[in-house]
Amino acid sequence: MENNTSYSVLLPERVSSWYIVLTSLAMIILAILTVAGNIFVIHAVFTNRALRIVPNFFIVSLAVADLLVAILVMPFHISTNITGAWIYGGVLCQIWLTSDVFLCTASILNLCIIALDRYWAIHDPIRYAQKRTVKRVLVMIAISWTLSGMISIPPVFGWGDKDDDSLYDDDVKTCTLSSDKGYVLYSACGSFYIPLAVMSFVYIHIFIATKRRLRERTKAAKKTKLAMRNIVNNKDGNANKKRNNSDSTNDDHDERNEDIVEEPSNHCNTTSSESANNVCNGSANVALTTTDKKKRKKTRGKRQIDSAKMEFEDNARHLRPRVSINNFFEEKQRISLSKERKAARTLAIIMVTFVLCWIPFFLMYLILPFCDSCTYPGTKVEALFVWLGYVNSTLNPIIYTVFNMEFRKAFQRITAKCRGNDSGRIALTRTCV
């Protein structure tokens, strides 16, 4: 969106050569970054199979609009900043202003339909997934570009291009957008304020839905984790009960064996009136029984030690799955919550960036024609507001792609090829997060 103030006032304000050099250099760098970033996005989508999905058509449309802003609009601003005047004549002035309004509006409206697409995808994901066809997406993109044309073309047919308010002034070499109040209100609302209202409504609802789903997933994850702990504890309790029953059965069996062995000793004592041979045999049986009892006590103690070892190992085996299950659900919960927070953070970045980049210019653009007592802020402030809006075209490919793993991989692959590494695998494994 172009401003309505002449750049020819740069010289009367006695702008220093250092200011012209630094601002022009900054504009050139910004234009180059905008071209490079949006070319990367378009190239990544068309060359990467994983990115050739229907929702990314909106990203490509946005990248095309921002790329054309950098190619068709920014260079003339840079030239005007350097020379201090419009030197390309009236016809090119009209084409440039129309292109400026058309492409900046297309960029903003593409941001708007991306917001609507995300809102529908979250609000009714099942049915909208069936409706989100290539035809539907292309129709939405066509509507955004058509609306942009309807907002930018009226001055070409004479709206606001009157003798006292001409777009191009050959005497002072200025090329300015019409300050006709009707057109200013029409273009400002269509290019910014209506899309801003739609995006605000949509992203607020998306943010609320994201926060609500975040809380629901947190509660569900806690319930699942508690249920798994109860299941594991019940299994451990049943296993311990079985082991205790088994140990008590073994102890009873040992005691019965000892009682059976002691019976010959008592029988030998009751037969003391028999022959000496029987007495000796009875004494020998008593001694043998005592030895067996000692051996059985040692065996019983060893068995208890072995049982304790087995119980420890069994507890360790049960503990490892429990730790693994808990870690699994904790990790799953952490990843899910991280994704939700990242989505909410991305929405906030998109909205804040859009508002900060465009609202200074559109406030100035709308207020000045209707406020007779308002003073013009000066060409430096105006140029800052205009280029701040263009910064949004530079940041769009970063915001909408850097948070996507597939886009990051595609960018790494492209840069790897530029460095001569055809496969790009080394760079991917080293730098991709």
Write out 386-432 in H/E/C secondary structure.
HHHHHHHHHHHHHHHHCCCHHHHHHHHHHHHHHCCCCCCHHHHHHHC
Average pLDDT over residues 370-396: 89
- Phi, psi (degrees; rounded to nearest 5) at 3: -90, 175
pLDDT digits (tens, 9 = 90+) for 80-119: 999 888 899 888 988 999 999 999 999 999 999 999 998 8
pTM higher than the cut 0.75: no
Closest residue by Cα to residue 393 from 77, 76, 99, 104: 104
Distance between CA atoms of residues 39 and 105, nearest Å: 20
pLDDT digits (tens, 9 = 90+) for 141-185: 999 999 999 999 888 777 765 555 567 777 777 788 778 889 999
pLDDT at 6: 38
Closest residue by Cα to residue 397 from 25, 45, 27, 149: 45
CA dihedral (401, 404, 410, 415) positive or negative? positive
Half-sphere exposure of 113 (CA within 13 A, CB side): 26
